Amino acid sequence: MAHRNQQRNRRNQAPSAEGNGCLVFVGTARARAAAIFATPGDERVMDPRIDRVQKWRAVVGAASTFLLVWTYGVEGGWSEVLEDGVTKLFLAPVLLILVGPLVIAGFIWYAPPEHRPALRSRLRSPLKAVGWYVGIPVGGAALLFGAAQLAAALNSVQYVLSVLLYLGIAVVGIPFALWVLAFLFFASGSAARYAFNTADVHAALPALLTVVLVWVLNLVSLGDGLPNGPATVKIAAFLGGPLSVTAVSWWELHVLRTRHGVRVRG
């Protein structure tokens, strides 16, 4: 009970953005993304050991990629590496939205029949997270497009009003568009890490979704070709990331089961 009360207290605490000017601007986007995707729910298990292992795996993975590129090079140079990282950052949530429902449906079907209604009733949290992730950029783009269309329509009727509307778009719309981009950047990382708050459905779901996501993402990336180097290095680079993520996720499920009593069919 105390553990759940502590989680509720964290959830009720709104993240604060510190700094001035641009830092506040970016900080509000980051705080909003954290409030939507990184706020623990009642079913989410917060284990510092799991967080540490996940962070170390990410550090080792980044270091391995750096050494691979440094040793054997890559087509397009370091700019290609950066572009690939940014692409995967935004691609991961999209793939989760596409394949996640299949995994969740299979998970609920695999659960004992008496547990299925409770699991389905908790789907509101991830659906809400997906709605925010899609709705904010789509809604923002639609709002700016509609304002621009209205200004263009008024140009031949009310020229002064049209100019004022264009001025409002420049003064308000451009900063708003930049805020949306900043939100999308921070939200993409959090959405992928927490699998759109699917831990609120079942604590084991993010680990399972992470395994599916990393393999799908790896297969999608295969279209860009294997990295440079000997055949053994290429195979290791291609399989190393997904296999290490799978191993960490398997260990996470073991910790959830042995230390927290969380079972996939429990």
Residue 256 has pLDDT above 60, yes or no: yes
Lowest mean pLDDT among 17-21, 94-98, 184-188, 224-228: 17-21
Res 232 pLDDT > 70: yes
Q: What is the pLDDT of residue 179?
A: 92
- Buried b vs exposed e over 129-158: b needs ≥16 C-beta within 10 Å? bbebbeebbeebeeebeebeeebeebeeee
At residue 94, the pLDDT reads: 95
Its pTM stands at 0.81
Lowest-pLDDT choice from 160-164, 169-173, 217-221: 160-164
Q: Residue 12's pLDDT is what?
A: 45
Helix (H, G, I), strand (E, B) or coil at 45: coil
Report whether pLDDT(190) > 60: yes
User: Residues near 195 by Cβ (< 8 Å), separated by ≥ 6?
Assistant: 96, 100, 126, 205, 206, 209, 210, 213
Closest Cα to residue 130, out of 155, 95, 158? 95
Please check the confidence at residue 247 and state whether its pLDDT lies above 90: yes
Share of the chain above pLDDT 90, in %: 46
Asked whether residue 16 carries a pLDDT value surpassing 50, the answer given is no
Q: Which two tokens stand for residue 171?
A: 């003064």
In angstroms, the CA 184 to CA 30 distance is 9
Q: Cα(74)–Cα(83) distance, rounded to whole angstroms? A: 12
pLDDT score for 220? 87
Q: pLDDT class for 13, splitting at 50, 70, 90? A: very low
12 vs 149, more confident: 149
| pLDDT on residue 78 | 75
Residues 132 and 164: their CA atoms lie apart, in Å, by: 31
Give the model's pLDDT for residue 152: 82
Q: How many CA atoms lie within 13 A of 19 on its CB side?
A: 11
| Cα 252 to Cα 150: distance, rounded to the nearest angstrom | 53
Residue 52 identity (one-letter amino acid): R
How far out from the chain centre does Cα 176 lie?
21
Closest residue by Cα to residue 244 from 53, 43, 107, 91: 53
3-state secondary structure of 97: helix
Question: In this structure, what token pair is assigned to residue 207?
Answer: 């680990």
